[in-house]
Structure 1
């Protein structure tokens, strides 16, 4: 990862950018795993960023961002042993930002004495998590807005192997 990029806790003024990243990342996905309608639900039917909306879905105290200067490039949300969300702006994908955010989550979990972490990965992200040492447990339904249900992959990673 670029050394000018750093991780920090999110602040309320990041909300608009977090929403913009969330929308852009989902808009950049092809319809190979999910339909256009499912992807629309995944981005909460938003075409324009809405900071209040993202803060309604994700709590500020569980959000971390990857930033370069004042510019937020990606973010993650997690609580103790569960990675809830991970998004990197399409322009900055493939540069180690997602990996750094996941490694930060795993490190935070280890600091709290957690031995195993979990996440529900979109079908697009499954390969990414496998490369980071997660294992697929099973396919599971995931509820989006307006009752839309999509398949995701429940995944876990044993943190004791890294100690």
Structure 2
């Protein structure tokens, strides 16, 4: 298992991972179709934002990407792994790589909008919930989280 810089030709695989990972939480096919554009990783996105793949046995099984913000802050924009890898330490492996990379870039704060089902994962790593916003699904709120470095 290792981390590799994402290549533009990985966009189709990353989109597949994103959609399968999101569907893991039991969202309806109808809802997944509504989110399809938001869950699509484009070539332009990869060209514009740092992204890194988790590779296991020569297969991309997960990835993360982030946005550089002002004031030495970054936003963890995506962290997804295939459903069969969830709960087996792969997410933590990705997150540890991300945190090390961000610390080396001298960032002082990380923010993210968490999938509601992943909030505890981020809390275990040290993120704190600082707010939330309602999503397109009535009574479903997305936690806004941060970590100071």
TM-score, structure 2 length as denominator? 0.81
Kindly state the Cα deviation for residue 36 of structure 1 after the two structures are TM-superposed. Answer: 5.8
Matched residues in 2 for 1:70 and 1:36: separation? Answer: 30
Deviation at 1:92, TM superposition (A): 1.0
Assess if the C-alpha contact under 8 Å between 2:8 and 2:46 holds in 1.
no
Q: Hey, which bits of structure 1, 4+ residues long, moved more than 2 A?
A: 35-46, 56-61, 148-151
Alpha-carbon distance in 2 for matches of 1:66, 1:56: 18
98 and 58 in structure 1: CA distance in 2 versus 1, 3 angstrom threshold = farther
Out of 133-142 and 66-75, give the one that drifted further. 133-142
Residue 37 (structure 2) pairs with residue 25 (structure 1): no
Partner residue of 2:114?
Answer: 121
Asked if residue 79 in structure 1 is aligned to residue 67 in structure 2, the reply is yes
| CA distance, structure 2, for counterparts of residue 41 and residue 103 of structure 1 | 32
Partner in structure 2 of residue 95 of structure 1? 88
Distance across 2 between alignment mates of 1:88 and 1:129: 15
Query: RMSD of the alignment, in Å?
Result: 2.4
- 1:60-106 superposed Cα distances (whole Å, 9 cap, x missing partner): 44211100132001011112311001110001111222112222222
Q: Which blocks of at least 5 consecutive residues in structure 1 are unaligned?
A: 47-52, 143-147
Secondary structure of the 2:84 match is helix
Aligned residue pairs total 141
TM-score w.r.t. structure 1 length?
0.75
Q: Does 1:132 align with 2:119?
A: no
| 8 Å contact kept, 1:64–1:77 | yes
CA distance in 2, matches of 1:95, 1:38: 27
> Could you tell me which of 15, 18, 35 is aligned with 1:42?
35
Is the partner of 2:26 in helix, strand or coil?
coil
